[in-house]
Amino acid sequence: MSLCQTYRDLSFQTWRLMEKARSVSHQPLEETITDNNIIELKLRQSHEVITTTYNKVQEGKIGADWQWWFTNSKKNIWFGVRVQAKILKFKTNRFEVLNYKNQTDVLIKSAQKDGLIPLYCFYSQWPLSKNYPTKNCLTFPNAPESYGCSIIDAYTIKKNKKTKKSNTLASVISDVFPWSCLVCCQSTTSRSNANSLPDRVKSFVQNVLLRNSSDDILIPKITKEPPRHIKSILDKGNENHENDDPNLAGVIVIIESDDQNKGGIILKQGKLPSPPSSV
């Protein structure tokens, strides 16, 4: 299974898990969903995904962030994002504490300091009778289940913070994309290695996710080497590490294998990819 297929399948799997939870009136925790997805990523892409967790994570409503670093098979180009997960609360239909105090500013500043893009990852599910205006993914046919795991940039969340209902599903859904877009969409850059995973991620972030944002947002460049703590993880293997960032829960390194579809997936006219199989 390709990395693209795995990301999409995990969105459907997350949707189904939350659908089951809703049916028995049980509110799952975002930490549970995150752990499940990381485990599945590592099981399905065992040679492409490296993770580590940090022991000193600040507790409370600020939340814990993850760094996602994307690289090619040679590990000579890199692009990273900083992600904070939020889960939809069934009773209120909101992403509670999304706008808690200054947490969005903290996420943005932490990401900028390390040359990363700040993102939120939303875990969502809603009754299919509700027709929310979701984005039309250009890689796959639009399906509500693909928003089981979705992403939105923190700059958009900050811009909409003053809106009274800015943390409701209805208020954010038109600005989110399936998280599979990060690894599936074809690059639009002209670089010689533009079909690499880091370039595809950067291209999607810059040309799709942030296309309506202000011009003063600094888009990090593709780097030739990862930061020191990523080098340490690659050298020492999959171990728990200490970290001086109180809000950083862990790191995921995603390495594109040589046999992955480096050009992303393009829809052919009249042929639509089938949804992931039932879990």
Banded model confidence at residue 269, pLDDT cuts 50, 70, 90 = very low
- Whether 278 is covered by a domain: the verdict is no
What residues contact 272, with CB distance under 8 A and at least 6 apart? Answer: 140, 141
Burial of 240 (0-12, 13-18, 19+ CB in 10 A): exposed
Displacement of CA 273 from its chain's centroid (Å) = 21
Q: For residues 173 and 132, what is the distance between their CA atoms, to the nearest angstrom?
A: 7
Is the whole model's pTM more than 0.75, yes or no? yes
Most confident of 104-108, 121-125, 140-144, 238-242: 121-125
- Whether 275 is covered by a domain: the verdict is no
Q: Is residue 255 predicted with pLDDT exceeding 50?
A: yes
- Whether 15 is covered by a domain: the verdict is yes
pLDDT single digits (tens) 174-205: 899 999 999 987 755 555 556 899 999 999 99
- Whether 269 is covered by a domain: the verdict is no
pLDDT of residue 132: 85
**Looking at this protein, which amino acid is placed at residue 256?**
E
- Whether 43 is covered by a domain: the verdict is yes
pLDDT of residue 237: 61
- Count of Cβ atoms closer than 10 Å to residue 257 Cβ: 14
Q: For residues 157 and 136, what is the distance between their CA atoms, to the nearest angstrom?
A: 20
- Whether 190 is covered by a domain: the verdict is yes
Q: For residues 58 and 76, what is the distance between their CA atoms, to the nearest angstrom?
A: 33
The answer to whether residues 198 and 77 touch, using CB atoms and an 8 Å cutoff, is yes
Domain count, the chain: 1
**In which residue are the tokens 């504490």 written?**
97
Banded model confidence at residue 122, pLDDT cuts 50, 70, 90 = very high
Domain that holds residue 235: 3-255
Least confident of 51-60, 220-229, 262-271: 262-271
